[in-house]
Chains A and B, each alone.
Chain A
Amino acid sequence: MSRIRSEEVRELAVLARLELSDQEIERMTGDLDAILGYVDALKDLDTAAVEPMTHAVPFDCPLRDDVVGVSLPVEEALQNAPRREASFFQVPRIVHKGGGAGEDES
């Protein structure tokens, strides 16, 4: 019995914003199925009374003083931009004429 089907893998790829080829979807379905089968072993472990552990070492979130410090200059922050315009990162249009916003319009 498989734990995950290729349709679900396709959905996940959309959620992860990851374009996968049909071949990759097929391969990923088999790989994820095997890995999920392996991690099922955790079901045997009784953790009902156990607090989740998100961090290995206990620490209280320290707050720094609320003072102005040195920040990255805008030019340096933009130096690796694949595309830029003035002091902005440039991306495909997401707000369209007429006030509509939506990624699916072209």
Chain B
Amino acid sequence: VTAAAGGEVRGASIAALADGVRAGKLRARDLTEAYLDRIARLDGALGCYLLVDAEGARRRADAVDAARAAGRDPGPLAGVPIGIKDIFVTRGIETTCASKILRGFIPPFESTVTQRLADAGAVALGKINMDEFAMGSSNENSARGRVHNPWSLAHVPGGSSGGSAAAVAASLCAGATGTDTGGSIRQPAAMCGVAGMKPTYGRVSRYGVIAFASSLDHPGPFGRTVEDVAALLEVMAGADPLDATSIPAPVGRYRDACRAGREGGGLKGVRLGIPAEYFTAGMDPEVEAAVRAALDELGRAGAELVPVSLPHTRYAIATYYLICTAEAASNLARYDGVRFGLRAPDVHSLAELYSRTRGEGFGLEAKRRIMLGTYVLRAGYYDAYYLKALRARRKLAEDFAAAFTRCDAIVTPTSPIPAFRFGERMGDPLQMYLADVLTVAPNLAGVPALAQSCGFTRAGLPIGLQIIAPPLGEEACFRVGAAYEARTDWHRRLPEDPPAGARREVTS
């Protein structure tokens, strides 16, 4: 990155930007202008941003420059331009969760994550598109328009944090926030060729994160590289008196863990578990080949690869969709047209106000999940569905606990398929749910999991690796992920600028 007017920020790392600003070689204002310029030129074709807060971003960047000029510490993320998934409430800035039912909602408070990022000197550029209420695996459930994959505009970016992943891939921000309830950070990271982490449940505060399924919702970061993700997580993580489920343990030294993976003995002494259940029929052969090659590379880095078993994996999707819809039906009860958001006009009773507001305000997938959740919680079905799923959840968590007695981390593909085309799965919700087959179990167990790029299909679509660690074992994810990045250059590849169609279409 050069100093002049922000220079070329395309592909810039968070460390390079923050170090430059902290050392006085870069001005935060110039960086912000450079990213705002890219958004103005390129986002029309991508659809990542729902709202660009140019004025606010300039004000925050100027404050960073002023702090440095005055000799104050501008923070570890000084001047780093970031995008905020529209599920994080931001004081005074419209927050919609990409839903019609929250159009015009101006939060009177700020989420802990966005507050911490701002306190660390990061510059929020605006609010980013997503699947409505984070329900979806393709970003096609947004009430506010499509997000296109920067590697091929004809393909989806994944979801639900599809806008965050696409924005980082296209350098429309240096990093971004996301949330992951069943894969919503990792799957779009894999499909857009960037890195993203779902940390341990409770590692990052959920205060001010609009709730979908509270026991499964995990806020986390996106970055171009594993180290960028580590730098963001160090700021985002930590106990929060405003979230009773946040973990009081001290935050790990995630960037040091990256360094340990990059340097010295690499992965000598590290045991990596490979679960056969995550390499099943139905996996795209190009995905499987890329992930197997990545495992070989990790072996060459010194890791010992050991087979492990996660025998209840085949129950994960059913368990997940029963629990998440039950929680969603409860959480989404608050959208009633009374206190904020949409209110249906011309209603004559309170019951009509509720049902018409919700009927008009929610999209099809949100309605589907509310209905399923209402069904599984219904008297007479509760034991057979919801309680059964809670018991299966424990079996899935015990699978991980048993596997981690034999290894330090588990390595799998992130998604069994690369990005698909718009409309390809929208007609069949079950097919869409099955796209999450490799990501939902870590949410049920609460264990941390990192996604990063490990190759491309012949058509030029990214393929993602997933590294899963025991609870509060984020360092293991970072060490392994950084070791892999040090030996490969997938993370350095950038989509065409401006983004275009798939480079080579494979016909068979």
B433: which A residues are within 8 A, CB to CB?
35
> Does A16 count as interface, using CB distance less than 8 angstroms?
yes
> Does A52 count as interface, using CB distance less than 8 angstroms?
yes
Considering the chains assembled together, what is the distance between the CA atoms of A45 and B394 in angstroms?
Answer: 12
Q: Are A19 and B359 in contact (CB under 8 A)?
A: yes
Q: Are A12 and B355 in contact (CB under 8 A)?
A: no
A59: which B residues are within 8 A, CB to CB?
202, 244-245, 247
Considering the chains assembled together, what is the distance between the CA atoms of A91 and B428 in angstroms?
Answer: 38
Considering the chains assembled together, what is the distance between the CA atoms of A38 and B372 in angstroms?
Answer: 13
Q: Please, what's the 1-or-0 string for A5-30, where 1 marks a CB less than 8 Å from any CB in chain B?
A: 00001001111111111001001100
Considering the chains assembled together, what is the distance between the CA atoms of A39 and B372 in angstroms?
Answer: 11
The interface residues of chain B, by DSSP majority, are classed as helix
Within 8 A of A (CB), among B316-371: 317-319, 321-322, 329, 333, 336-343, 347-356, 358-360, 362, 364, 367-368, 370-371
B337: which A residues are within 8 A, CB to CB?
82
A42: which B residues are within 8 A, CB to CB?
315, 318-319, 322, 388-389, 392
* Pair count A-B, CB < 8 A: 174
> Does B115 count as interface, using CB distance less than 8 angstroms?
no
Q: Interface residues of A toward B: which range? A: 35 or more
Q: Are A72 and B378 in contact (CB under 8 A)?
A: no
Report the nearest A residue to B215, measured CB to CB.
Answer: A55
> Does B395 count as interface, using CB distance less than 8 angstroms?
yes
Q: Interface residues of B toward A: which range? A: 35 or more
A79: which B residues are within 8 A, CB to CB?
106, 108
* Given A17-B336, A36-B375, 12 more pairs with CB closer than 8 A: A12-B375, A18-B359, A32-B372, A45-B315, A50-B394, A51-B394, A52-B394, A57-B247, A79-B106, A79-B108, A82-B341, A105-B349
| Residues in chain A within 8 A of chain B (CB atoms) | 4, 9, 12-21, 24, 27-28, 31-32, 34-36, 38-39, 41-43, 45, 47, 50-57, 59, 61-62, 64, 72, 76-77, 79-83, 89, 91-92, 94, 103-106
| Residues in chain B within 8 A of chain A (CB atoms) | 104-106, 108-109, 200-202, 215-216, 241, 244-245, 247, 312, 314-315, 317-319, 321-322, 329, 333, 336-343, 347-356, 358-360, 362, 364, 367-368, 370-372, 374-375, 378, 385, 387-395, 397, 428-430, 433, 443-447, 471
10 interchain residue pairs of minimum CB distance: A56-B446, A19-B359, A52-B390, A82-B343, A47-B391, A80-B340, A53-B394, A76-B108, A39-B318, A17-B354
